[in-house]
Amino acid sequence: MYFNHGRAGTGKSALIDHYKAKSFAQEFTSTQRPVLVTRISAKRDLDNTLVQMLYDLDLFGASQYRRLGFGPNLEQKLVDALKLTKTELIIINEFQKILEYKSEQERQAIGNLLKYISEEAQVPIAFVGTPLAAQICEDPQWASRLIRRRRLKHFCFKDINERRYYLSYLKGLASRMPVEFPPDLASPPFAIPLFAATRGENRYIKTLLQEALILALQEKNNTVSLAHLSAAYTSLVSEGVNVFELPFEQLKLIEIETTLCSNSDMKTLDQAATGTQHTKPMNLNDILSVK
Ligand SMILES: Nc1ncnc2c1ncn2[C@@H]1O[C@H](COP(=O)(O)OP(=O)(O)OP(=O)(O)O)[C@@H](O)[C@H]1O
Ligand SMILES: [Mg+2]
């Protein structure tokens, strides 16, 4: 079993979509489902999770399980269905939801069931979720099953290698902008305030750039300028100073803390679910003097 985790907005769902699209690019018969993307059922019981999986396999007749209720032997039905659809990988997104199963026994039961299905149908399972889902790894039974783990992160600026990655990502975005002269987003005048505005969160980076691009296109401009970004920032963030108007010395950069959260540093589940940890605001001078 594989385990892929990352904070909200780090690209987990995008990775799944990409993987699914790639697998569907090949030719298949109508019953083949090489990749099953599913989730833990919102109704908190095991049977519903199995029904959810059958439903997500999208086989003819799957909807009858919802209508007619659950017959006996749902596990076996699912295993048979997985063989029929020649499924090669099951991906379970939003896996942190399993923590909503209150008792440890209930969680164990789901774990055992998924293991049984994975072994019987000979299909590996990949779990995807927020850092909260990583708590499951503190459980020795799960930990021994989740052999391969991978973490997706927000962008960072302080570390030079991570900064290079951020800059190359901006370059990539710029080259995809539908304007005659793409802006040099990886240059300091763009890249630095953009980080200050977004804390390296991709969702914000894309929203801000999209807004700026719309403004540029409305003006029939052949490039996206700092003025467009500044105006986009004002329209999206109504209060506080505009980071695109500030001199570099006054900019403060914040990164999303990359350390893993665990039970020990989060007092409640709620806190772990919502509490994003940030670094202290950093001055650009301090960052750039760090070698
Ligand atoms: N490889 C990528 N290249 C460009 N943009 C990306 C990439 N991966 C993700 N994104 C963008 O980042 C944003 C967040 O991605 P996504 O919704 O996949 O995050 P998530 O980790 O599933 O978040 P959540 O935990 O909230 O479900 C989206 O705007 C998405 O388009
Ligand atoms: Mg998602």
Residue 44's CATH number: 3.40.50.300
Domain that holds residue 285: 155-291
Whether 10 and 136 share a structural domain: yes
> Residue 34 pLDDT more than 50?
yes
What's the pLDDT at 269? 46
Q: Which residue out of 7, 13, 18, 128 has the highest number of ligand 1 atoms within 8 Å of its CB and is therefore the one to mutate?
A: 13
Q: Which residue has the higher pLDDT, 75 or 269?
A: 75
Number of folded domains that form the chain: 2
What's the pLDDT at 48? 82
The closest-lying atom of ligand 1 relative to the alpha carbon of residue 152 is 21
| Mean pLDDT within 226-253 | 92
**Residue located nearest, by CA, to atom 6 of ligand 1:** 11
What's the pLDDT at 262? 44
pLDDT band at 229 (very low <50, low <70, confident <90, very high): very high
Tokens read off for 13:
């769902």
Identify the DSSP state of 281.
Answer: P
Percent of residues, the chain, with pLDDT higher than 90: 45
Tokens read off for 50:
């199995």
Q: Cα(205)–Cα(173) distance, rounded to whole angstroms?
A: 10
Whether 164 and 131 share a structural domain: no
Whether 124 and 225 share a structural domain: no
Instruction: List alpha helices for 85-225, DSSP H.
Output: 104-121, 140-145, 160-175, 188-198, 202-218
Whether 220 and 127 share a structural domain: no
The closest-lying atom of ligand 1 relative to the alpha carbon of residue 206 is 29
Query: Please, what is the end-to-end C-alpha distance for the chain in angstroms?
Result: 39
User: Mean pLDDT for the chain?
Assistant: 84
Ligand 1 lining (C-beta closer than 6 Å): 6, 8-14, 130, 202-203, 206
